[in-house]
A and B are shown apart, each in its own frame.
Chain A
Amino acid sequence: MTIELKKLTKRFGSLTAVDAIDLDVGDGEVLCLLGPSGCGKTTTLRMVAGLEYATEGDIYLQGARVNDLAPRDRNVAMSFQFYALYPSLSVAENLAFPLHADGLSRAEIEQRVKRISDTLQLDKILTRTPGQLAEGEKQRVAVGRSIIRDPQCFLFDEPLSRLDVQLREEMRGEIKEVLQDLSKPTVIVTHDQLEALTMADRIAVMRDGRIEQVDTPHNVFQSPENLFVAGFIGTPQMNLLPATLTGTNGHGTADFAIAGGQSMTIEVDPRIADLAQGANVTLGIRPRNLEISHDPAPDGISTKIDIVEPMGAETLAHLSDGQHDLRLVADWRVPLSEGDQVHTRFPPGATHVFTENEQVLRSAP
């Protein structure tokens, strides 16, 4: 492990911003801290950098405890949300800035600047000052400045948040490529799940100063461990339907009563058998997993189509059973029209069951 956080805590007065988190980032691994604003992800990053002092807990870089080291002594590289380019220096001077502390020769500095500017296509703007750069160029310079030296780890604070959609897509790929070449432990803070899902080797989802789940992008999406992660990851949001367990029929097949009088029998995780009859649960299913049929089916409920939003290749439909709203995404060829009464089916294995304490029911793989 090269970045290791143990029971790391930060309090600002009575407010606990980061609450005893444990986290490891391996060599060459890219970890994304993902969460809504105010969840403590930036504070965590800043503690690793040394810009905030940890209230409790330990930070280890390459095995050494660094809590009491100033940022300059930790040998980390960081790219800031607002880029933090030095306004009075040219792009080339900005790039060279972190190298001065190493006492490199002028030729060596020039050579490194050249290498970085070639990689990030900055060679044409080297003599400009930050005020004359477009957002995307600033971002590139900020990345360049953080990767120009050879630190113990890389930290990125909301690297793409100030770019427009198209540029963001482009830079995502570029940064990913750069990070793969570096093969250093890297932490990226972001509130954008798409960014996290595409760039990260692992994602740590945070809420209210705690880590809710750490896993690969695939697992975080496919197997959320709790209600928060389920609701937070994925667009459109996962459907979360409150229900009561009325019976189990073995092999994970169970009967649920939905508020409003409807009921259905669907196949879920076998551990449903552990729950008592009458237990209150939340059923979670992704909009793309719901299916529609015009005939009544036992594994679904009857709903009305409220609104249809074409999204190009797919169509998003808002359904209602009179009590709950459900979102469904279907291929654009599936005919959906507003006001139609349809049956919404929950296919086998597609539904996650969350118990009353918001944890998922899942058998060990």
Chain B
Amino acid sequence: MARKYREIGKAGWGYTAITSVVGFIYFFPVLWIILTAFKTRTDALAVPPKLFFTPTLENFTSVFFRASITTGTSQATDMGLYFFNSIFIAFTSVGLALIVGTLAAYAFSRYPLRGNDTYLFIILTTRMMPPIVVIIPIFLMFRLSGLAGSYWGIILLYTAFNIPFSIWLVKSFFDELNPEIEDAARMDGASERRVFFRFCIPQILAGLSATFVFGLILTWNEFLFALLLTGVETRTVPVAMARTLGGEVGVDYGLLAAIVTLFLVPIFFVTFLLQNQLLRGVTFGTVKK
């Protein structure tokens, strides 16, 4: 029986084909970079641009190892350190921010202070604020205190950067819980500590992980603070990328594309895993569904 019309809101494989084309076009810039990462220097600079070429891994190797012309041996570049820095700094600061932020979020959700909304507004404003506004005094502060260029300095800064986001996002998860369960637990004699750890936290575990991962991405991607406040030892990948780009005359786009590609891998995973929480994450919990 030929189907002459479709039920509302549903579509079939034909529609998938159309959307795939659109999705593919939209994704093309990313794809092009990934392709470039697998090109030799000649292929990367070819005119017209090559869509088909013999892939090579040489860009990826040269991200981490530089061949020495005189000795013929390879030598490690600093890129490994920068990747380590990005990971270490992101995990530490986001972890700290999540702990501190969850406590505050619980308080804002369950024990509203006088002027609760004002506090929340100020906290959100510190997140909405252009980083350039705060960075002038922070730069001076770090210079005076010697925190500039140290791990602690940038970790502390990123913790502060992630706290507003964590508070708002985690609060949105706490707000969704049914407080009756907590009251029932209290009636049954559970202590406040127990209510928090055994009843509230397990219920928002998925939300906490989403918050954690979002924080990781935001921190992983951050550029301006890192540009101004990290030193040679604590430099993160985005700064290293910008330096590779802004450096000497002939930019090695193959190399740069390889760095970007490596940098993207975790983001693909996260985007896929967090698809349902994405909206809440990018709006700091202000828009849930």
Contact = CB atoms under 8 A, between A and B. Distances in A.
B4 A51 contact: no
A51 B5 contact: no
A68 interface: yes
Contacts of A52: 7
A167 interface: no
Contacts of B132: none
A190 interface: no
A162 B117 CA distance: 38
A52 B7 CA distance: 6
Interface residues of A, number: 9
Contacts of A69: 4-5
B240 to A, nearest CB: 52
A53 B8 contact: no
B142 to A, nearest CB: 53
B77 to A, nearest CB: 56
A70 B4 CA distance: 8
Nearest to B5: A70
B205 to A, nearest CB: 33
B7 to A, nearest CB: 6
Interface of B is mostly: loop
Nearest to B8: A51
B144 interface: no
B7 A51 contact: yes
A35 B44 CA distance: 70
A193 interface: no
Interface string B1-33: 111110110000000000000000000000000
Interface of A is mostly: loop
A68 B4 contact: yes
A68 B8 contact: no
Interface string A58-70: 0000000001111
A67 B1 contact: yes
B7 A68 contact: no
Nearest to B2: A68
A69 B3 CA distance: 9
A352 B82 CA distance: 87
Contacts of A67: 1
Contacts of B5: 50, 53, 68-70
Contact of B3 (A50, A51, A53, A56): A53
A304 B2 CA distance: 64
Contacts of B4: 68-70
Nearest to A55: B1
A56 B8 CA distance: 19
Nearest to A46: B7
A67 B2 CA distance: 10
- Chain B CB within 10 A, most for which of A50, A52, A53, A69: A53
A51 B4 CA distance: 13
Interface in A259-291: none
Interface string A40-58: 0000000000111100100
Contacts of B7: 51-53
B220 to A, nearest CB: 42
B103 to A, nearest CB: 39
Contacts of A51: 7-8
A95 to B, nearest CB: 23
Interface string A205-247: 0000000000000000000000000000000000000000000
Contacts of B2: 68
B204 to A, nearest CB: 31
B178 to A, nearest CB: 24
A70 B1 CA distance: 15
B6 to A, nearest CB: 8
Contacts of B3: 53, 68
Nearest to A67: B1
A164 to B, nearest CB: 26
A69 B5 CA distance: 7
Given A51-B7, A52-B7, 15 more contacts: A50-B5, A51-B8, A53-B3, A53-B5, A53-B7, A56-B1, A67-B1, A68-B2, A68-B3, A68-B4, A68-B5, A69-B4, A69-B5, A70-B4, A70-B5
17 contacts: A50-B5, A51-B7, A51-B8, A52-B7, A53-B3, A53-B5, A53-B7, A56-B1, A67-B1, A68-B2, A68-B3, A68-B4, A68-B5, A69-B4, A69-B5, A70-B4, A70-B5
What 3 pairs between A and B have smallest CB-CB spacing?
A68-B4, A70-B5, A53-B7
